[in-house]
Amino acid sequence: MKGAIRLFRSAPISAKIGLLIIFVYASVAIFAPWIAPYSETSIVGSSYELWSDEFIFGTDNIGRDMLSRLIFGARNTIGIAFTTVVLAFLIGGIVGMLVAILGGWYDLLIGRLVDILMAVPSLIFALLLLTIFGTSIPSLIVIIAVLDSTRVFRIARSAAMNVVVMDFVEVAQLRGERMWWVIRKEVLPNIMAPLLAEFGLRFCFVFLFIAALSFLGLGIQPPTADWGSMVRENATLINYNDITPLLPAAAIAGLTIAVNFVVDWMLHLSSGLRGD
């Protein structure tokens, strides 16, 4: 605990601001049912009511409280994006490190398959697959994770290729260590820096990607609160000089900036090779 406090105190001001913002977002997402004044689906007033003491940010197109929808949207949007990125890293990271160690036909075959998947624009590919398999949350998570794992694969493979040729990895292999031990003890710790940076970037990309899909109507489906769909549902208010539709957009932008601040700091902390 003391080490964590000391590490936080030594962080640059940008990282401290980023951590504080992420903490606020995470707290709101975790405690959404207790923080929100209403449930995410309750119709509590008339359509497009103005900001007031009863409805701090007014109501949406069918009379649901905007503040409550924003709070529950944090839980849904952030939770789904985080789960998707973790799954993408499990798939892409493990396969990338395995290919770097095995090489040969494994590298050639999987590399060409990844090139084929990356040749199709992600948004078009995702729209096609979601149309075929449906827009349920499990389908959304798996489809985006598989598509995004191709980027993770390229980063993990490229970084691991520079590590597997080093002496301490060759020594571990010569003394008979198993492949998973080599990956866990020798390769993974030494490619953690670029993977951490990529995790933050991938989270921001997936976060925005899910919001874009929801805005187009193929992401998180109503009545589940989601920041992307909230922009679409209330976009007409812009014509009346009402900034309410910009609130979920600002929430998306705030978290994206905060994550990038923290990723820059973690990349600095994690740089450098470490051998056993």
pLDDT at position 89 is 93
In the chain, which stretches have pLDDT less than 70? 1-4, 7-8, 269-276
pLDDT of residue 3: 57
Helices (H) and strands (E) in the chain, counts: 13, 0
**Per the structure block, which two tokens stand in for 198?**
């990529």
How far is residue 211 CA from its own chain's centroid?
A: 11
pTM, to two decimals:
0.84
| Half-sphere exposure (Cβ direction) of 249: Cα atoms closer than 13 Å | 12
Coil/strand/helix, residue 3: helix
In CATH, the number for domain 14-22+47-270 is 1.10.3720.10
User: Residue 186 gets which letter from DSSP?
Assistant: I
Instruction: Report the interhelical angle of 66-102 vs 104-119 (nearest 10°).
Output: 150
